[in-house]
Chains A and B, each alone.
Chain A
Amino acid sequence: MPDEFILRALAAGIGVALIAGPLGCFVVWRRMAYFGDSLAHSALLGIALGLLYGININLGTVIVCTLFALLLVWLQHRRVLATDTLLGILAHAALSIGMVALSFLDNARFDLYSYLFGDILTVRFSDLYWIYGGGMVVIGLLVLNWSSLTLMTIHEDLARAEGVNTVWSNILLMLLMTIVVAVSIRIVGILLITSMLIIPAATARQLVTSPENMAIWAAILGLLAVLGGISGSIEFDTPSGPSIVTAAAVMFALFSVIGALRRRGVTIK
């Protein structure tokens, strides 16, 4: 029987993989990788506020990331600066303010490294509630809005013409990403959250011909990466986040090579 903390970590990692895979498809399709990174950076401010004021860190992160997303939507709407510039400003400002705020805490109370790269030892039961509760919200909303979101991704005006509220749908995607960021911190860490969104989805892209299958395969591949990564992390005493992402990257490389060989085989014939 493995230790309880390992089971907790596995349960948490599996939950994160199952949510991040399908949502990650939209991140890949809609080129939101930089947005995901920025959102994750701003999460540090949420952690700092959580620790300073004694509120739940997940809650603190959701609040800060949601404000971040809404602020971004508002600034985008004003169309003064390009989105990547806005993201750069907001993300680094939030990251820096978070670090400044954390420096007011005494060092004993937190381990920055574990927030940046994840640490399975820090997973608590309350985190599992967050992951599975938040996960059900994310998956439920994704399934309910799947066709609308996919159509909007293919052509925004077409979706609008057919009655999709694209403003709300965009905000919905951002809010779903804030949930994923908030619940992933313990497992993969702030710096690597985006990779859990995009690497399994990008790997899945090479295997499928429908958007639905891409989402399903992204979840499966994410799951495999989590299982491989956490086993490796326990075996070799490596940080969990980088171990999981390494496993995901190895799978991506593997399928890319297989895909390239297969395409070449077709052209030779």
Chain B
Amino acid sequence: MTSLLSASHVSVFRDGKTILSDVSLDVKERDFITIIGPNGAGKSMLLKCMMGFYAPSEGTVARKAGLKIGYVPQRLVADHTIPILTRRFLTLRKKADKAALAQVAGETAIENILDQPLHVLSGGELQRVLLARALLDNPELLVLDEPAQNLDVTGQLAFYKLLDRIYAERAVSILMVSHDLHLVMSSTKQVVCLYRHVCCSGEPHMVTRDPEFISLFGDDMARLMAVYNHDHHHAHDHEHDLPHSHDHDHAHDHPHPGGPHAG
């Protein structure tokens, strides 16, 4: 498998503090990697370094030549002072034809908000618009920075479900920072637990048994995760490459990708 984006031995020191210490991470084709960690663990900084927004103090970041990345930021504060319709925002700086736009809009369930001003959209709608924008170039890699951070629980579930489907239907790799480990457990293939350095890394159900994970998130979290994993493990004890559904026992069913936020 070709490596798309990789950080090797990345360290960041700022104002005399160590933000990241010797972090290595390799994103390959069809990977679905979720970076978790407590606040201040350097998750965002690692993403910034990997996106090239910030030059690491030590170590290097390598990117496959010509790699197309779709970036979904944490949130978009759509300012009332900028008059712009969703459609125009999506195609700003992009050469997307009508068909491509319609296809992506259908995929992310934003057809009915294309002609609305950006600043009237709800949080869930904005996140889907950002996801749609990221998908317009047919990226090989989606990079998401806590994409559901500002949504309520139903919104979060709906967003991750949508992301799950996109991963299943498109030839795309995903690198995501997320707090909502319990929500992404079913789709993510690899969890990287970060606290300035990589504490542990591996398949979700393995990671939650790791003593480092337990010391970082506490016993309760580990036990909670173990429960989720238990079900998950039995339900899908095989590779996740097939576009089958990833319904959880604990997740309520959301037939519409947008959930109650649509429209």
Query: Cα distance A26–B17 when bound, in Å?
Result: 36
Q: When the two chains form their complex, are residues B82 and A162 in contact, meaning their CB atoms are under 8 A apart?
A: no
Which residue of chain B has its CB nearest to the CB of A79?
A: B15
B90 to chain A, nearest CB (A): 11
Q: When the two chains form their complex, are residues A161 and B93 in contact, meaning their CB atoms are under 8 A apart?
A: no
A94 to chain B, nearest CB (A): 28
Q: When the two chains form their complex, are residues B51 and A160 in contact, meaning their CB atoms are under 8 A apart?
A: yes
For residue A186, CB closer than 8 A to chain B, the reply is: no
Query: Cα distance A89–B59 when bound, in Å?
Result: 39
Provide the residues of chain A in CB contact with B228, threshold 8 Å.
Answer: none
B63 to chain A, nearest CB (A): 12
Q: Which of B53, B69, B88 contacts A210 (CB 8 A)?
A: B88
Q: Which of B76, B82, B89 contacts A29 (CB 8 A)?
A: B82
Q: When the two chains form their complex, are residues A161 and B51 in contact, meaning their CB atoms are under 8 A apart?
A: yes
Known: A154-B76, A154-B78. A209 touches B83 (CB 8 A): yes
Query: Cα distance A161–B73 when bound, in Å?
Result: 10
If over half of A's interface residues share one DSSP class (helix, strand or loop), that class is named, otherwise mixed; here it is helix
Provide the residues of chain A in CB contact with B84, threshold 8 Å.
Answer: 150, 154, 209-211
A236 to chain B, nearest CB (A): 34
For residue A153, CB closer than 8 A to chain B, the reply is: yes
For residue A184, CB closer than 8 A to chain B, the reply is: no
Which residue of chain B has its CB nearest to the CB of A147?
A: B93
Which residue of chain B has its CB nearest to the CB of A158?
A: B73
Chain B, range 113-172, C-beta contacts under 8 Å to A: 117-118, 130, 133, 143
Provide the residues of chain B in CB contact with A208, threshold 8 Å.
Answer: 83
Q: Which of B51, B81, B93, B143 contacts A151 (CB 8 A)?
A: B93
Known: A150-B92, A209-B85, A210-B88. A29 touches B79 (CB 8 A): yes
Q: Mark A139-169, 1 if CB is under 8 A from B, else 0.
A: 0000000011011011101111110100000
Q: Mark A205-229, 1 if CB is under 8 A from B, else 0.
A: 1001111011000000000000000
Q: How many pairs, one residue from A and one from B, have CB atoms within 8 Å of each other in the complex?
A: 62
For residue B195, CB closer than 8 A to chain A, the reply is: no
For residue B213, CB closer than 8 A to chain A, the reply is: no
Which residue of chain A has its CB nearest to the CB of B51?
A: A161
Provide the residues of chain A in CB contact with B92, threshold 8 Å.
Answer: 147, 150-151, 154
For residue A191, CB closer than 8 A to chain B, the reply is: no
Query: Cα distance A147–B52 when bound, in Å?
Result: 21
Q: Which of A29, A153, A155, A160 contacts B53 (CB 8 A)?
A: A160
Query: Cα distance A160–B71 when bound, in Å?
Result: 10
Query: Cα distance A225–B229 when bound, in Å?
Result: 67
Provide the residues of chain A in CB contact with B130, threshold 8 Å.
Answer: 158
Query: Cα distance A148–B94 when bound, in Å?
Result: 10
A248 to chain B, nearest CB (A): 18
Chain B, range 54-107, C-beta contacts under 8 Å to A: 69, 71, 73, 76, 78-79, 81-85, 88-89, 92-93
Q: When the two chains form their complex, are residues A155 and B76 in contact, meaning their CB atoms are under 8 A apart?
A: yes
Q: List 30 A-B contacts (CB under 8 A).
A: A28-B81, A29-B81, A147-B92, A151-B92, A154-B76, A154-B79, A154-B84, A154-B89, A155-B73, A157-B51, A157-B71, A157-B73, A158-B71, A158-B76, A158-B133, A159-B93, A160-B51, A160-B52, A161-B53, A161-B73, A162-B93, A205-B81, A205-B83, A208-B83, A209-B83, A209-B84, A209-B117, A210-B88, A211-B82, A211-B83
Identify the B interface with A (CB < 8 A): 51-53, 69, 71, 73, 76, 78-79, 81-85, 88-89, 92-93, 117-118, 130, 133, 143
Given A29-B82, A211-B83; 5 other pairs, CB 8 A cutoff: A150-B84, A157-B71, A160-B53, A161-B143, A213-B83
By Cβ-Cβ distance, the 3 closest A-B pairs, closest first, are A161-B71, A147-B93, A151-B92
